[in-house]
């Protein structure tokens, strides 16, 4: 079972692979549904593809907008370029885009969750047209997913197991376009479903009433975050081809930590053992909303969170360990820390994580300082040998 991680930019892509992903999905600056992600240039995509293939990993590119007439002017040449670069598959939702890919390339095609595949007949339909894989709609129960696998066994199935959910049906929403003229179906969603709303009666302008009896209003369309880590054994046994983590807009810390949690958890699932609490607890250490298992056992009315759309953030991402020099760790600083703080350094294997009490900080020119500044490099004292690719965080 493939572990598929999000890659909003080149750095996140590389770290996702290093932290345990079997494959990554990303986009360039065109035709994807995350226009505000960092995304990759075509040169970066070539570098990313070489990086993945050198490690026997796969890379998929989203071309999953609902294409209007104007998009088809550039689309044929674009997909030919993707084919020349050598990516492993494109992710498509629009039948017109599907046809353009088939007419101009030999690329494998994965059907996006935006296509709303919720039955074995729909999966079979896409397979007969030439799709290699179907990414299932989130609005499916697990018995339905198993039935699709049973009745359309020739189709690879991919399903989301973690990340943000959408109030709209598999992301097909017009709220953002209505309020801000930024279409979610073209990758520019402003998430108005997360906003606070009040009720106003027509003849009483400027008199606002909470939609529930709550002085702070209510977030009536605010979905909780999906978390199926506790159902991983069932999913594994159902012969699902790929489990997918949402989050191309999320931070490097988020991508790495969720990826390594599922990678570490799979080690236990594959041998029939329970996932240790230490691994499960890590999902609470990333920025997230209240968790839900959503549709796994049927429609869950508790999948919306009405009190706040804010993230739960127990940790602040501090930066990356660049290198170890004798008994000093060189840190690329993104957020401030100071003398007296306790830092944690996390690695691809959760068992390697360490804690450091900050007693001394050195600037890049090896002068003692009392606190760090973002976008600088600093040194910490540490006498032990650490693994590669450490990320530094601090509990807040």
Reply yes or no on whether the pLDDT at 184 is more than 70: no
* Mean per-residue pLDDT of the chain: 90
**Buried/exposed code over 52-83 (b: 16+ C-beta within 10 A; e: otherwise):** beeeebbbbbbbbbbbeeebeeebeebbeebe
Instruction: Dump pLDDT digits (tens) for 202-260.
Output: 788 888 766 654 555 566 667 888 999 999 999 999 999 999 999 988 999 999 999 99
Cα–Cα nearest to 108, from 75, 136, 131: 131
Structure tokens given for 66? 């609902």
What tokens were used for 106? 């030999």
- Local structure of residue 367 (DSSP, 8 states): -
Q: Which pLDDT score, from 0 to 100, does residue 29 have?
A: 84
Q: Distance of alpha carbon 170 from its chain centroid, rounded?
A: 15
pLDDT category of residue 196 using cuts at 50, 70 and 90: confident
pLDDT digits (tens, 9 = 90+) for 104-129: 999 999 999 999 999 999 999 999 99
Burial class (CB in 10 A: 0-12, 13-18, 19+), 103: exposed
Total domain count for the chain?
2
Shared domain for 295 and 331, answered yes or no, is no
Asked which of 91-95, 130-134, 206-210, 221-225 is least confident by mean pLDDT, the reply is 206-210
Average pLDDT rounded to a whole number, residues 10-24: 97
Domain endpoint, select from 247, 281, 303 = 303
User: Residue 312: which of 213, 390, 224, 385 has the closest Cα?
Assistant: 224
Q: What is the mean pLDDT of residues 333-357?
A: 96
Q: Are residues 57 and 130 in the same domain?
A: yes
CA distances from 258 to 21, 135, 147, 244, 281 (A): 10, 20, 28, 11, 11
Q: Is residue 310 part of a domain?
A: no
Looking only at the bridges linking them, the beta strands covering 315-325 and 328-333 are antiparallel
- Reply yes or no on whether the pLDDT at 90 is more than 90: yes
Residues recorded for the chain: 396
DSSP 358: -
379 or 35, which is more confident: 379
For residues 368 and 361, is the Cβ–Cβ distance under 8 A?
yes
Let me know whether 77 and 13 are in one domain.
Answer: yes
Same domain, 296 and 319: no
Q: What is the pLDDT of residue 89?
A: 98
Task: With respect to residue 158, please indicate whether it lies within any of the assigned structural domains.
Answer: yes
Q: How far apart are CA 123 and CA 127, in angstroms?
A: 6
Record the tokens describing residue 361, joined without a space: 């900080």
Tokens representing residue 347 in the block:
């690695």
User: Is 210 among the domain residues?
Assistant: no
Q: Is residue 118 one of the residues assigned to a domain?
A: yes
pLDDT at 195: 77
Question: CB 352: neighbour CB atoms within 10 A?
Answer: 14
Question: Given the structure tokens 């390697």, which residue do they identify?
Answer: 352
pTM: 0.86
* Other Cβ atoms closer than 10 A to 202: 5
Residues 346 and 295 in one domain: no
Q: Which residues, other chains included, contact 295 with Cβ-Cβ below 8 Å and sequence gap of 6+? A: 138, 139, 140, 141, 303
Q: Please report, for the domain that includes residue 360, its CATH number.
A: 2.40.30.10
**Shared domain check, 340 and 299:** no
CA dist 210 and 217 (Å) reads 5
Placement of tokens 């530094």 in the chain: 392
State what percent of residues in the chain have pLDDT above 90: 71
Q: Could you list the residue range(s) of the whole structural domain that residue 150 is in?
A: 2-169+224-303
Question: Is pLDDT at 299 greater than 90 in this prediction?
Answer: no
Contact 100, 81 (CB under 8 A): no
Residues 20 and 126 grouped into a single domain: yes
Q: Give the Cβ contact number of residue 132 at 10 Å.
A: 16
Domain for residue 382, yes or no? yes
Same domain, 243 and 323: no
Q: Are residues 252 and 290 in the same domain?
A: yes
Residue where a domain stops, chosen among 241, 269, 303: 303
The answer to whether 110 and 89 have CB atoms below 8 angstroms apart is yes
Task: Provide the CA 101 distance to its chain's centre, in angstroms.
Answer: 25
Do 98 and 160 fall within a single domain? yes
Domain boundary pick from 274, 303, 332? 303
Does 206 map to a domain?
no
Query: What CATH number is given to the structural domain containing 9?
Result: 3.20.20.110
Residues 122 and 46 in one domain: yes
pLDDT for 213 equals 46
* Residue 186 lies inside a defined structural domain of this protein: no
Q: Are strands 2-6 and 242-245 parallel, antiparallel or unpaired?
A: parallel
Kindly state whether residues 245 and 322 are assigned to the same domain.
Answer: no
């Amino acid at each position: 079972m493939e572990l598929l991680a999000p890659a909003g930019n080149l750095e996140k892509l590389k770290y996702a692979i290093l932290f345990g992903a079997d494959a990554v999905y990303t986009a360039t600056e065109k035709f994807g549904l995350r226009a505000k992600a960092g995304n990759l240039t075509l040169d970066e995509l070539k570098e990313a593809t070489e990086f993945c293939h050198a490690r026997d990993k796969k890379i998929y590119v989203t071309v999953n907008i609902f294409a209007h007439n104007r998009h088809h002017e550039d689309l044929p040449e674009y997909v030919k370029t993707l084919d020349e670069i050598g990516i492993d598959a494109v992710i498509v939702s629009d039948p017109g885009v599907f046809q353009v890919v088939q007419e101009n390339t030999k690329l494998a095609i994965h059907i996006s969750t935006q296509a709303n595949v919720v039955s074995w007949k729909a999966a079979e339909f896409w397979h007969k047209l030439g799709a290699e894989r179907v990414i299932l709609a989130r609005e499916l129960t697990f018995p339905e997913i198993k039935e699709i696998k049973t009745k359309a066994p020739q189709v690879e199935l991919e399903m989301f197991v973690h990340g943000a959910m959408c109030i709209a049906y598999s992301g097909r929403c017009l709220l953002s376009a209505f309020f801000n003229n930024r279409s979610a179906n073209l990758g520019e969603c402003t998430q108005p479903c997360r906003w606070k709303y009040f009720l106003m009666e027509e003849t009483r302008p400027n008199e606002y009433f909470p939609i529930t009896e709550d002085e702070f209003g209510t977030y009536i369309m605010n979905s909780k975050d999906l978390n199926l880590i506790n159902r991983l054994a069932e999913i594994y046994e159902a012969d699902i081809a790929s489990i997918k983590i949402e989050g191309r807009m999320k931070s490097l810390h988020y991508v790495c930590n969720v990826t390594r949690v599922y990678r570490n958890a799979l080690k236990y699932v594959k041998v029939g053992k329970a996932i240790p609490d230490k691994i499960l607890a890590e999902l609470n250490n990333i920025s997230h909303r209240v968790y839900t298992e959503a549709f796994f056992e049927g429609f869950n009315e508790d999948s919306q969170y009405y009190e706040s759309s804010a993230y739960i953030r127990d940790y602040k991402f501090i930066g990356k360990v660049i290198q170890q020099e004798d008994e000093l760790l060189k840190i690329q600083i993104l957020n401030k820390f100071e003398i007296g703080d306790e830092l944690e350094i996390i690695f691809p294997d959760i068992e390697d994580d360490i804690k450091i009490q900050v007693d001394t900080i050195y600037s890049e020119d090896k002068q003692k300082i009392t606190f760090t500044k973002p976008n600088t490099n600093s040194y910490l004292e540490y006498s032990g040998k650490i693994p590669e690719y450490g990320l530094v965080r601090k509990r807040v």
